[in-house]
Amino acid sequence: MVLAAGLLTLLLTQTPIKTEPGLATTPPKPPAITVIHAGRLFDGTGDSYRKDVLIQIEAGRIISVEPATTGRVPDGAELIDLSQFVVLPGLIDCHTHLTKRADRYDELARFKESPYRNAFNGVLNARTTLEAGFTTVRDVGSPAFLACDLRDAIDEGQLPGPRIIASGPGVSMTGGHGDLNRFAPQVRMQSFPDEADFKIADGPDEVRKRVRAQLKHGVDVIKINASGGVLSRGDAPGAPQYTVDELRAAAEEAHAAGRKLAAHAHGAQGIKNAVRAGADSIEHGSLIDDEGIELMKQHGTWLVADIYNDDYLLGKAIEFNLPQESIDKERALGQLQRDNFAKAAQAGVKIAFGTDAGVYPHGDNAKQFAYMVKYGLTPAQAIRSATSDAADLIGKAGDRGRISPGLLADLIAVAGDPLANVAALETVSVVIQGGVVVKNTVPQKNR
């Protein structure tokens, strides 16, 4: 699967990847020293900019961040002049599905496409996401274990794409959000019969086994479905799925292995069950109530709410054959989710940026920022939700999400002022990942 994906990208990529006979593909190397002159810098913390700053990068990491008036550009360094731009940390989307296509809602598509087709989707979507300024994503639901393979191919330099925090398929009870529901009983989709596709589990013991099997295959995070969903057949988004004991089994196994548990939960009771069980984040959180908000604050649980994609689902997705059942669910849920997001934000629940990319087109991730501001966050809070706060959620606070010495040199630049109009993040001029410029629409002069 990874080989097929790599071959496709070698045909499509605009910048050929250098290889040597008999050697594995290696990522492009950054210049020895790069200095970025930022006109304004939002470093991922606080509520304001630092002005006229030099950021020195070496070996893919930030070495120093100094005022341009006192800093210097070392001899031989590559200078990237962004003095007319706002520079920010590379953005992080904590809820994506890189192998999914937003122009394909045919219920039978899953029976028509091989895993290789999903891999090709992932290759294209990964590049699109990176060029939109998202240098890290958490993929929370792909065929087993495609997100892990895509992660590894990107890390090895075979493919361009964001750094991936990869889950396996969302663990689901029989008949739950992740199961194959309302088809004839003889219809099956089990590629791994001994492991029930690594996702179907009933009772604490089976849940533990599925989580352990996923950990065996290298996932970074465990996804579990604690309520019904919008895009699944035959279940109600508000209905809880899994008991607290079952969810606790997943949390214990994930935490014992140093991983986090992301709980898909629309319904109020499913949210509370997952929080009490020890989930680290609630994905969607559409019908959260006052008790759930208070519980999330007490437990320090993150909310990852996809409050943009309602527009797409009730617009373009209908053209792409979104089933009527899903349309009805979304119409009942979409505005409630946004209103409840506003309540949670007002109450001080921790919020990390996550969009459900794949439900809408990849690359449009930044369109959610304006909705987060509309429903209660300041622009700075919305940006932090996709930088330092997101890094906290995914366990990478010491590595990314801020522009600070020692951290990875993942940065973006925009021409507008996102603190005045957060929609400026929808048009990214420059993307730098690990010190390597992967997108630059700004003419430069070499020093």
Check: CB of residue 124 under 8 Å from CB of residue 361. no
Beta-ladder partners of 436? 433
What phi, psi does 200 have (nearest 5°)? -85, 125
Check: CB of residue 57 under 8 Å from CB of residue 35. yes
Domains of the chain: 33-89+401-440 (2.30.40.10), 91-363 (3.20.20.140)
Q: How many CA atoms lie within 13 A of 97 on its CB side?
A: 19
Burial of 315 (0-12, 13-18, 19+ CB in 10 A): exposed
Tokens 């990522």 belong to which residue? 27
Local confidence pLDDT in tens for the 447 residues of the chain: 333 444 333 334 444 434 344 444 556 666 689 999 999 999 999 999 999 999 999 999 999 999 999 888 888 899 999 999 999 999 999 999 999 998 887 776 777 777 788 899 999 999 999 999 999 999 999 888 999 999 999 999 999 999 999 999 999 998 888 767 556 666 666 666 566 688 999 999 999 999 999 999 999 999 999 999 887 877 888 899 999 999 999 999 999 999 999 999 999 999 999 999 999 999 999 999 999 999 999 999 999 999 999 999 999 889 888 888 888 989 999 999 999 999 999 999 999 999 999 999 999 999 999 999 999 999 999 999 999 999 999 999 999 999 999 999 999 999 999 999 999 999 999 999 999 999 999 875 544
